[in-house]
Structure 1
Amino acid sequence: MLRDPPVRSRRRVQNAVGFLAVMLVAIFLACGFATAEIVGRSPRVLILHPYDEWLPASAIAGDNARERLQEATAGKIDLFSEYLDLSRFPEPAHIDRMARYMAEKYFDHRPDVVIALGESATRFIVSNREAIAPDAKIVFCGFGRDSGSKLNLPAGVVGAFSEFDIAKTLELARALQPDAENLFIIGGSAAFDRTWLDSARTDLAAASKDYATTYLEDYSINEFVERASHFPPDSIVLFLTILADSTGRNFLPKDALGIVAAKASAPIYGPYDTYIGQGVVGGNSVTFESLGNAVAGLALDALAGKPITDIEVPQTFFADARQLKRWGLSESALPAETALSFREPTLWEQHGDLVAGAIALVALQALIITGLLFERRRRFAAEGESRLRLLELVHMNQSATAGALSASIAHELNQPLGAILSNAEAAEAILKGKTPDLNIIQQILADIKDDDQRAGNIILRLRGLLKKRNAIDWQEFDLNEVVDSSINILHAEAEKRRVVVSAEKPGHRLPVRADRVHLQQVILNLATNAMDAMTDASTIDRKLTFHAALHDDAKVELSISDTGHGIPKNRLDSVFDAFYTTKSTGTGLGLSIARAIVETYGGKIWADNRAGGGAVFRFVLPLAEAA
C-alpha cells in the first residue's frame, strides 16, 4: 500500500502552480468523485472483513467491491483490507486489541471511507470509529434492516441492506418437493449460527406447521453427518451455517455443508449462493457479487461528496442442475428467473453456429436431393417414354420386315400346305381301293402331321414379328437359338434371291439377357440389308454368313457378313444414323433401330468392310453370367 509523502513534499505540492492543481481536480472528477476534501493524494478506502480471508461470503463481496472501485477510479485509489477473525476470536479482549492495532496502523493513513462487510464488522467500526477513522464515511452491507435497527446506527452510516430470507428458500424447496412431510433445519454452535437459528424459528413459524419440523443444533460434525444419513426420503433439509460445532471445532460453512451433504439421504437447501457446488439443491439469497457492487457504489458516491442513502439489494433464487438430477427433481418446477448452475449446455448452446451450419447444409442437401429426385423422376419418365417410342419403332420395323418377307413367307407356307393337300388326296385315293395299305396311310398321316407342324412354326414366327408389346420382355436365352430362328425366317427369302446362308457357331451356349424378339429383329434387319446389298452381285457370289463367338470372355459377338459392294469408308460412321439410306425405297430407320436395341441391352454395334469385298456388321452383348 502507498504511504503519505513527507511534510515538506506535501507543502510543495500544495503550493504548486495553479494549472497543476486544476489538472489534478479534473483528473479526480473524471474518475467519478470530488477532490475538494482530498488534495494531493489518492482517496483511501478500508474494506473491513468480519472473519478470516477464507470465508467465501466476505471474500466474494470484498473482491467485487475492490474491482469496481479500481475500475471506476482508473486505479487512482488506495485500498486496504482488514480481517477481524471474529468467528474464532469473538472475545471482547480480542476486539479491543484489534481496535488499538488498527488505530495505530492507520494513524497516518486515515481512511476516507470504510466499507464494513456484515453485521459484526459494522458493529466493530461504529464502536471504534473515533480511534480508527474519525473523519471517514461508513458504508456497510450483508444484513437486513431488522438487524440494522438493533445496532442503533448513528446518522451518516449508510448501507446496502439485504434480506437472507430463509422462508423463500423453503418456498423453493416446497415447489420442488410438494409431497414432503418432514422439515429439518441445521445450524451450528457459534454466535452467528445461533442468530441464524433464532431468525429461522421466527421466519418459519407459520410454514413449519405443515411439516414434522426438527431443529438440529449443538451437534458435533460427526453427529450432524449421522443424523443426515438417516433423513426420511420425504424430507426437506435447510442448512443455515456451521461456523463452529458443539466441540468448538471451527469451519467454513460451505466446508461443513459439503461434509454433511455427502452423506445426506434427502435434498438439502441453503440461503447462500456460495453453497452451490457443495451439495445444496438451491435456495434464495442476495448474491455476494451484487453486495460488493452495491456497497462499492455507495463508497464511490461518498467519495464524490454526493448524498447517499440506504438501498436494498434484491434477492434471487438459485439452483444446482446436478443436484436436481441427483434427487430426481424437476427443473420445470423452479421459480421463474432462477439462476441455474452446472446445467449441461444443450447442443445448440455449445455449438450453435456449427449446428446452424449443419442444418443449413442438410437443408441445402435436401433441396438438392429433392431436385435430383424430381429430375430423376422426369428422366425415368422420359426414358420410359423413349422406351415406349422405341418399342413402337421396333414394332413398325417388325411389321415392315414381315411385309417385306411376306411373299417369301407365303411361298414357304405354301410348301407345307401343298404337301398336306397332296398327302390328303393320296390317302383318299388309297382308301377308295379294295385293300388299302394301312402302313402307307400311317406314313401319309405322319407326313401331314410334320407339314402341319412346319406350317405352324412359320405362322408362329410371323406372329412373333407382328406382335406388339408395351414393355421389354427380359429373358435369358442362347444367342445361337435366335440365330437359328432368324435363319429359318429368312430361308425362303434367301432361296428366292439365290443367297447362300451359312452359320458358324461354337459348340457351347452363348447366354445373353435381353428381349428375344428384339435381338431377332436386329439380326433380320442386318440380314435383309446384307441381301439387299448383294442384289447386283452374281448369283454364285451371293453369300450371307453368320458367325457367333465369345468376345473377351465376358461378351458375345455376332457378325453378319455379305459379299456385296461394301460401304464407302466415309459412310461407315453414318450408316447407323436415323434416316440414312442408300436404297430408293428405304426409310433409313432399320440400322438406327438396330443400334438402339443393342445399346438398350448394354451392347455395341459397328460396321466394317471385308478384305475380300462386301460388308460385315458386328454387335457385342454382355454374357448373361457377367451381367
Structure 2
Amino acid sequence: MKVFVYSLLLLFCLHPDILQAQEKEKKTVLVLYSFGQSYPATAQWDKGIREVFNSQQDFEITINTEHLDLSKYNDAGYIKEVSDLLNYKYADKPPDLIITVFEPAFEFILNHRNSLFPDVPIVLGGIERSSSTDLDFDKNTRVVFQGQNEFKKTVELALSQHPKTQNVIIIAGSGHLEQSWYNSAKPTFQLYYDKLNFSHLIGLPLNELINEVEKLPGKSIVFYFPVLEDKDGGNYVAVDALSSISEVSSAPIYSFWEIFIGHGIVGGYLKSFPMQAQITAKVGLNVLSGESPEMVNPVQNEATERIFDYRQLKRWSISDSELPEGSEIRFIEYTYWEDHWKQIVLIIAAFVILLIIIGYLIAQKRILRLSQVELIQTKRKYKTVADYTSDWEYWQHPDGSMAWISPSCEQVCGYSSELISGNPDLIPHMIRQGDKRIWENHNCKDNKRVIRKGIRFRILTKQGEV
C-alpha cells in the first residue's frame, strides 16, 4: 500500500499537469464603461455581461470594470489622467480581453490601445454602424453593432397609432453618444420630411425642453433620444430627464431602447441593453476560447422587443388591441374588480345564500306564529266546549298522569278535576269491584290487548251512589 502511495506522489511531482488539468484556466476581462457606475445603462450592461461569463464552465474568469464617466468629463487633461491610471493598474498584468461599452469608451481605447494594451484583443459593444464607417480596425478587434431596423419600425408604429399626426418632435442631447444615435436614425426620419413637420430639440437644457414640450401643438408625437449632455455643458441621467419631460408633455413620447420603458414613453420596438450585453459577452467568450477576433464578420444585433407601458397607453387612449401581435405590456394597473373578482363573487354568493337562509327562517317563523295562533284559537274553542260539556272527558299521559280533566267530572263522581289530576289512581278506586276487569282490559298498555271500542262500567261516587 505504501509503495502505491509513493508511486502516486512521484507521478504528480513528475507531471504537475495532472493536478492542473482539474483546474480551470484563469482569464481576466477588463470592461470599460463609457458612463459612471450610477447610470442605469451601465448597470444593465454589467448584469448582462456577468450573466454570460458566470454561467460558462470553460474558464475561471475575473471581471474588472472601469467606469470612465466620459459623458461628464472629456477634456484632454481628464483623458490623460484616465490613460495614466489604466497604465498604472494594468501595465504589469494586462487583461486577456477588453470589452468596451458604447462609443466614448470605444474611441478612448482605439486612441490609446497602442500605449496601453497593444496586443490585447478587444470587443467593441453597443456600437452604431454609422459611428465606425470611417475607421479601420486591426485584426485584433471585434465589433458588435447595434441594429438600425428598430428606428423605422418604431416610427411606423407611432404613426399608425396616431394617424392624424402632423408634427414630429425629436429630442436628443448634444453629447457624442446621443448624436451618434440621433445621426443613425436621421435617414429614417428623412423619409417623412415631405409629409410631416419636424422639429429638432437638440442639446437644449432640461428646463427649456420642459417648456417646449408643455406647449406642443396638437397632432404631435415625440421621439426621445438620450439626453446626457446639453449645449451648455449640463449633464443628466437619461431616464430621469425623460421622466421630467414626459410628466408635462402634451404629446405621446416614443423611443428605441427598453431602458426607457416605465419612465414616460408609450413603447415601441425597443433594444434591450442586457440582451446586447449578453451578445457582446458571448463574442468575447469566443475570443477567449481561441477564435480570431478579425473584423471579417462583425456581429449585427437586430433583436428588438415590442414593449409598451400600460399607463401611457391609457393616458393617450391607445387600445392594446391595436398593438402589434405578440406585444408585451408592462405596468398593467388592474381595477379593484379585475384584481379581486374571484373574492368578490364568493362574498356576493355567500351573502345571497345568507339572505336566502334568513328569508327561509323568517318565513318559517311566520308560519310557526300563524300555526301557534291557530292552535291557541282551536284550543280555546275546544276548552270552551270541553269545560261546559256534561260528559266526563280527560286526557292521560303514557305515564298515567293526567294532562287535562273536564270540570264536569265533579257532577258525575263528586270529585273535583283538581283532586283527580293530583291523584290519577283515584279513578280505578271509584270503579265497582265487578267492573274493574273491564277497566283494566281497556286501560292495558299492551297494544295487542287494547280493546278499541267504548266500554260501560259502574263507579261509586263520593257520596257512595252507584
TM-score, scaled to structure 2: 0.70
What's 1:485 paired with? 385
> What residue number does 1:154 align with?
138
Is the alpha carbon distance of 1:577 and 1:284 closer, same or farther for their aligned partners in structure 2, counting shifts above 3 Å?
farther
* Counterpart check, 1:86 vs 2:70: yes
What are the residue-to-residue correspondences of 1:200-239 with 2, within 5 Å?
Answer: 200-207=185-192, 209-239=194-224
Asked whether the 8 Å contact 2:123–2:143 carries over to 1, the reply is yes
**RMSD between aligned residues:** 4.7
Deviation at 1:255, TM superposition (A): 2.5
Give 2:93's aligned residue.
109
Find the counterpart in structure 2 of residue 25 from structure 1. 21
Deviates more, 1:122-131 or 1:293-302: 122-131
1:174 to 159, 183, 187: 159
Q: In structure 2, give the amino acid aligned to 1:477.
A: Q
2:288 pairs with 1:318: no
**In the alignment, which residue of structure 1 is the partner of 2:273?**
288
SS at match of 1:204: helix
Q: What residue is the counterpart of 1:584 in the other structure?
A: 451
Check the 8 A contact 2:102/2:177 in 1, yes or no. Answer: no
Match of residue 236 from structure 2:
251
DSSP 3-state at the match of 1:102: helix
Asked if 2 retains the 8 angstrom alpha-carbon contact of 1:47 and 1:82, the reply is yes
The 5 Å alignment of 1:377-388 reads none
State the match for 2:286 in structure 1: 301
- The SS at the match of 2:285 is helix
Distance in 1, matches of 2:443 and 2:334, equals 69
Question: Match for 2:428 among 556, 561, 565?
Answer: 565
Do the aligned partners of 1:545 and 1:561 also contact (CA within 8 Å) in 2?
Answer: no
Task: Tell me the residue number matched to 1:278.
Answer: 263
CA distance in 1, matches of 2:16, 2:113: 34
Matches of 1:218 and 1:578 in 2, distance apart? 115
Which of residues 535, 538, 541 is equivalent to 2:413?
Answer: 541
Shift in CA distance, 304/201, structure 1 to aligned 2, threshold 3 Å: closer
Cα offsets for 1:188-246 (capped at 9, x unmatched): 22233333333333112224554333222243322211111112353211111222223
Q: For 2:386 and 2:159, how far apart are their aligned partners in 1?
A: 95
Matches within 5 A, 1:9-158: 17=13, 19-28=15-24, 35=25, 42-72=26-56, 76-91=60-75, 94-95=78-79, 98-158=82-142
Residue 483 of structure 1 deviates from its aligned partner by 1.4
Matches of 1:577 and 1:269 in 2, distance apart? 103
Q: Which runs of 5+ in 1 are unaligned?
A: 1-15, 29-34, 36-41, 381-470, 503-524, 548-557, 567-574, 588-611, 613-627
Cα shift readout 1:479-532 (whole Å, capped 9, x = no counterpart): 4443122456x54xx3xxxx5x79xxxxxxxxxxxxxxxxxxxxxx9879x99x
2:457 corresponds in structure 1 to none
* Matched positions, count: 406
* Partner in structure 1 of residue 318 of structure 2: 329
Counterpart contact for 1:119–1:142, Cα < 8 Å:
yes
2:9 is matched with none
Q: 2:96, 2:338 → 1: CA distance? A: 47
Provide the C-alpha distance between the structure 2 equivalents of 1:146 and 1:108, rounded to a whole number of angstroms.
36
Match of 1:244, SS?
coil
Distance across 1 between alignment mates of 2:72 and 2:411: 134
Mapped to 2, the partners of 1:73 and 1:347 lie a distance apart of 48
Deviations 1:310-361 (A, max 9, x none): 4343111222233333344333333334343333468899899xx69x9999
Q: In structure 2, how many angstroms separate the alpha carbons of the residues matched to 1:139 and 1:583?
A: 115
Question: SS of 2:268's equivalent?
Answer: strand
Corresponding residue for residue 342 of structure 1: 331
What SS does structure 2 have at the residue aligned with 1:295?
helix
Alpha-carbon distance in 2 for matches of 1:258, 1:50 = 22
User: For the Cα contact (< 8 Å) 1:115–1:139, is it kept in 2?
Assistant: yes
* Contact 1:545–1:562 (8 Å) recurs in 2: no
Task: Give distance in 1, aligned partners of 2:20 and 2:444.
Answer: 100
- After superposition, residues 422-571 of structure 1 pair within 5 angstroms as 474=374, 477=377, 479-486=379-386, 490-491=389-390, 494=391, 499=392, 541=413, 545=417, 564-565=427-428
Matched-pair contact (CA < 8 Å) for 1:187–1:242: yes
Task: Report how far residue 257 of structure 1 moved.
Answer: 1.8
2:20 aligned partner, one-letter code: L
Shift in Å, 1:583: 4.3
Change in 2 beyond 3 A, CA 1:351/1:476: closer
Percent identity among equivalent residues? 25
The 8 Å contact of residues 228 and 260 in structure 1, kept in 2 or not, is answered as yes
- Taking a change above 3 Å as real, the CA distance of residues 316 and 487 of structure 1, as seen in their structure-2 partners, is same
Change (3 A) 1:180 1:27: same
- Of 256, 262, 276, 2:247 maps to 262
Contact 1:276 1:282 in 2 (8 A): yes
Q: Secondary structure at the match of 2:308?
A: strand
Question: Does the CA-based 8 Å contact 2:130-2:184 persist in structure 1?
Answer: no
- The 1:561/1:176 distance shift into structure 2, 3 A limit, reads farther
How far is the alpha carbon of 1:307 from its aligned partner? 5.6
**Residues 542 and 563, structure 1, Cα contact 8 Å, conserved in 2:** no
Task: Confirm or deny: 8 A CA contact 1:285 1:315 kept in the other structure.
Answer: yes
Distance change >3 Å, CA 546–CA 360, structure 1 → 2: same
Unaligned runs of 5+ in 2: 1-11, 365-370, 395-402, 430-441, 455-461
The verdict on how the C-alpha distance between 1:563 and 1:20 changes in structure 2, with shifts beyond 3 A counting, is same
Q: 1:140 to 1:360 in 2, by over 3 A?
A: farther
Q: Provide the C-alpha distance between the structure 1 equivalents of 2:19 and 2:65, rounded to a whole number of angstroms.
A: 30
Mapped to 2, the partners of 1:325 and 1:267 lie a distance apart of: 11
- Compared with structure 1, are the counterparts of its residues 127 and 351 closer, same or farther at alpha carbon in structure 2 (3 Å cutoff)? farther
Bigger shift: residues 82-91 or 264-273: 82-91
2:444–2:450 contact (8 Å) kept in structure 1: no
In the other structure, the counterpart of 2:4 is: none
User: Which residue identity is paired with 1:564?
Assistant: I
- Output one character per residue of 1:67-116: Cα deviation in whole Å (capped at 9) or x when no partner: 43244369933322223333334456654554454344321111111111
Residues 173-195 of structure 1: CA deviation (Å, up to 9, x unaligned)? 33543443332111222233333
Q: Which amino acid aligns with 1:60?
A: Q
Q: Quickly say closer, same or farther: Cα 1:168–1:544, change in 2 above 3 A.
A: farther
Alignment of 1:369-380 (within 5 A): none
| Partner Cα separation in structure 2 for residue 576 and residue 132 of structure 1 | 128
